[in-house]
Each structure stands twice: as structure tokens, then as C-alpha cells.
Amino acid sequence: MTAPPLREPPARTPTVDDVEFRALYKKTKYVVETADGWSLVITRYRPIPQTFPQPLFGEPMLLVHGFCQNRHAWTSGEFVKNLLFFGIDIHILELRGHGKSSIALQHERAARFSRKLPADIEWDWDIDSYFLYDLPAAVAGVRRITRRDKIFYCGHSMGGMLGYGYAGIHQEQLEGIITIGAPAQIGKGSLALQLLAYAGPGISTSVDAALGSINLQRGVGQTLSRLASRFTRKEPDEAPRQLSYRYLPLDTWLKAASDALGYAEQSPVLSLIANRITWLTRWDRMSMSDMRWLLKEGGEKEPRKVVDQFLRWIRGMEVVCYRTGYDFQRGFSKFKLPMAIIFGDMDPLASLASTRSVYRAAKSEYLLWRPVKGNSHIELTMGHDIRQICYDIKNLIEYAKTHRARSPSLPRVQD
């Protein structure tokens, strides 16, 4: 009797850990132009077909970073890799003055194309600038390059708040929206933020006074130098540049923090202290090397006007585009597109209290409102729990795909 032929076991479907990151994408970049003259860079991670299933292959998604960040907010950990594993077509916007959308790039392109620099080039923009100019240019750019009428939007922190506002007006351009660590009422439930908001104007006045005093002393020194040069026949020193508070040098502070963490890693005592004093980060939920990379490469200066607008939002318990009077919160009740609101249960910025209003007001049939256990703010895009967050994104996109030709029928989802 002949034995039946042996069957080879079916090939095991690889997990995201089995796949090399660079094998998943082809990286390019392109420039979009805003209506007020800025050139913004979008970095694209275009998925490469794999031998394993990629259920979301080619679905375009725009990622928008938060306050004082750049593209590294998404790439310091494995967030982008997890989305590419599903085949999502990733487009990362860097807002004006951040990362590759730098002030230096504006000077370079102005010289190349013989055009004027943007009017607000000297750190004179606010959150309204991001909302009115940067987001429309980026969404239009992704739609154009992918030839899609609608795209998916994912924003972290400030990027998510901008997404709330954009979806309230341009819902027909978006197929779904995901916000990560993005409050709908910033400052609600956080006494520390409220105190900072009310102290903000006084702090700014004090900084202005201190810099003014320094400028006065340097001006007196320059005058004395010129008088002395008449007798010594030496060239007087150049006039010192006037100091002014135009931006927060957060990039410098964060690089210093990265160096400090390097020292802390070498000392068990210092490491323990670092874990205790953190506010927006849970060190135990992420790789220390990833965190140091983010601090070193992912920080940016943020204009004074952006900071002042955030503080005004907190004081007034509002999220408003002041140039047009558009109230983001009034737009929440217009949301009908698939939506996921994800935040850390230990996040002082985006919490149950500060995200509840958008969840309650939205009319979306698919509506996920989920805290991530043991997480604060920063690690949501680079920590140990991003795989579950990326599966939440996958579920939303799959729902949107299956409901493109018919009305939504699934109930709201709350975890």
C-alpha cells in the first residue's frame, strides 16, 4: 500500500516584527504651496507590494504632527512601520517652520524662483496659519498626488486638534479621521494648564522686560565703544543684534534633555528620578533610545503667537480660529465620517474630560473613543502600545472601505 504524499505545512504569515522596515516602502518627498506663500514638504512612504496580505494597500493617509514637533514624531518608533505593514500609503506633513518645511527652505525657493518671502517668515505665524493655509495645501496635495477624492487624516496632539477643525468644514474631502492625544477642550480637567494659561501673559511681559534691559545695556556698551574708537582709532564693534521674544527655543531645550537622559541612563538613581518627574511621557512604555532620538531630532522652535493662542484657548475654554471666527467645537456635531479618538488614560492634555465633548457631539456611525491604558502623551506614537493603536486605525479604514457605496450601519464603538 502506497503511503499518501506528505503535504508541506502552509507558510506562516509573517508578523510586523518579521519584516524589515526598509522592505515595506519607497520614500519620496514633494512640496505643496500654501495660499500665503509657504512651501511645505510632505514625506511620502509609498508601500511596496509584499507576498503576505496587505488589506489596506494604497489607502492614502495624511499624518500631521503636534506642537514643536516634526516628522520624527511619527518615525522615532515603529508607528509608520505598523501602518505600512497593512499597505497604507503614508504622507507626513511638516507644518511651516518645522523640519523640512523650514525658514531656510523658504529663502532657498524665494531665491530660486525670484519670488517674495512669506509675510510671516520671521516667526510671525499662529495656529490660525496652520489651520487656514497649511492643512488645505497638504490635503489638496495628497488628494492630487494619489488621485483620490477623499483621504484619511491622522493627527497627534495639535495636529489632531487642527483635524477637528478641518473636518468640521471640509468633511467631504476626508474618508475618516483619527486623532491621537488631541484634546477637544484643551485645559479642561487640568489645573496645571489653567494656571499656566493665566500666568502666561505675565511671563511674556517679564521676558520682554528682561530682554529689553539686556538690549539697553548692550546699546550703552556699543555707544561707549564708538566713543572710545575715536581716541584709539580702532574700528568700533558692530551693533549688537536686538534680542526679542519671538519664539520658544524648544529644540534647544529638548536636545539638552536628550543629553541629560544619556547621563541618567548610566546612573540607576538618576534614571529613577527621570521616571518620577516626567509629565507628558511614561518612560516605561517606550524605548529610551527612541525617546532620546525624538528629543534630539524631533524638536522645533514654536512661535510666540502659537503659544499665546494656545494659552488664550485654555483661558477661554475654546478652540477658535480668531481670524475668521470659526469655532471648532461647534463643528463637532457635523461629524458623520468614521472617527477614532485615541488618548492615554494618564495624559494630562488629552483625557476623558478634555475629549468627551467631541465624542458626545459627533454623529458618526463608526465612532471609537478609547483611552490607552498606562499611557501619557508622547508615547502614543512611539511606545509599546502603538500596535494596538495601529489596529484601531486599520479597523476604521476597513470599515470605511466596506461602506463606501452604502450608508453606514454599524453602531458606535466605545472601548
- Grid cell, residue 234, equals 580702532
CATH code of the domain covering residue 64: 3.40.50.1820
C-alpha 164/C-alpha 157 separation (Å) is 11
Q: Clarify whether residues 119 and 155 are in a common domain.
A: yes
172 and 25 fall within a common domain: yes
* Pair 52, 73 in one domain: yes
Please name the residue that has the C-alpha cell 488618548.
343
**Could you give the CA distance from residue 323 to residue 129 in angstroms, rounded to a whole number?**
9
Task: State the chain's maximal CA–CA distance in angstroms.
Answer: 117
Question: What does the block give as the cell for 87?
Answer: 499597505
Residues 331, 355, single domain; the answer is yes
Q: Which amino acid, 90? A: I
- The residue type at 53: P
Whether 267 is in a domain gets the answer no
* Chosen domain end from 247, 266, 290: 247
337 domain residue, yes or no: yes
CA dist 183 and 165 (Å) reads 12
Give the ranges where 64-134 is alpha helix by DSSP (H). Answer: 72-75, 79-85, 103-113, 127-129
| pLDDT score, position 276 | 47
Instruction: Using 70 as the pLDDT threshold, list the residues of the chain that sit under it.
Output: 1-11, 207-208, 210-240, 243, 261-279, 405-415
Question: What confidence score (pLDDT) does residue 273 get?
Answer: 46
Judge if 169 and 211 occupy the same domain: no
Q: Are residues 88 and 232 in the same domain?
A: no
Determine contact, residues 179/340, Cβ cutoff 8 Å. Answer: yes
Domain boundary among the residues 230, 247, 264 is at 247
Q: pTM value?
A: 0.89
Same domain for 60 and 96, yes or no, is yes
Beta-ladder partners of 38: none
- Same domain? 174 vs 28: yes
- Asked which of 247, 268, 289 is the last residue of a domain, the reply is 247
Domain count, the chain: 2
98, 211: one domain:
no
Where in the sequence is the domain holding 237, given as residue range(s)?
A: 189-247
Q: What pLDDT sits at residue 203?
A: 75
For residue 308, tell me if it sits in a domain. Answer: no
221 with 176, same domain: the answer is: no
pLDDT of residue 1: 55
- The verdict on 207 and 326 lying in the same domain is no
**Are 33 and 130 part of one and the same domain?**
yes
Which pLDDT score, from 0 to 100, does residue 258 have? Answer: 74
Q: Which of 44, 40, 48 lies closest to 28 in space, CA to CA?
A: 44
- Alpha carbon distance 266, 276 (integer Å): 16
